Structure 1
Amino acid sequence: MGLSLSFAYAYMTLCFGVALFQIALIAGAPWGKITQGGRYEGPLPVSGRIAAAASIVVILAMGLSVMSAAGTWPEWPRWTGFVALGVQALSCIANWITPSSAERRIWGPITSLMLGLAAAVVFQFVR
């Protein structure tokens, strides 16, 4: 397995982790201070849970796009990897500039790692 594919699998694994975090939020985990700008203390309100559900779809699509960019299933067009990279970059920026210091400490480094992995795969810095 090439390094690019290893990075793609690492990215997909992190996407699954983020999806599990979102599922926990939907189920009522009291982590409002470390997501969505830290606006909520405790569990998210219904609107926040709906946003968490939508983000699951987006993050998993991003993971599959990066997997495709690495040359594996689901074999989507290459441009989808660049879209995923752009969304990942926006997510990374948002997590570093959020008013929630807890969110910055947790999600800033995670989304930065995800951005680096996605960029390495999409731009084929590694083979």
Structure 2
Amino acid sequence: MSQVLFLSSPVDNDVNPILSLASEMITRGEKVTFFGSDELKQPIENIGADFKSYSKDSDVFNKKESEKSGLITALLEPMKFIDDIAVQLRGLNFDYAVFSDAYPYANVITRLLGIPKTQYSGL
């Protein structure tokens, strides 16, 4: 059984296909940890995956309209985003990571964790 880290932005057309893949992997016996925004907690836990949430200060995907968009914030403040994930995953071990096309910094995060990665396009 592999330990798999899933990384996805909370956009429906990004999340739905990758949630389906994670669900299928769980059915096949894989242990899945899914990192996402709070609004994804229930759907992630419903498929049997462990849920990790961005801290409120670092949830670049869940900004109010008056604030910079999540992607712009992630691009302008990358270490805030990356550090939050690294801190929350400290002490956890993964065999590899699966991430969606639109997920920023998956390459950096997987390098920090020292694990291989697979990009999932949902096609």
Q: TM-score, normalised by structure 1?
A: 0.30
| Higher Cα Rg, which structure | 1
More helix by share: 1
More strand by share: 2
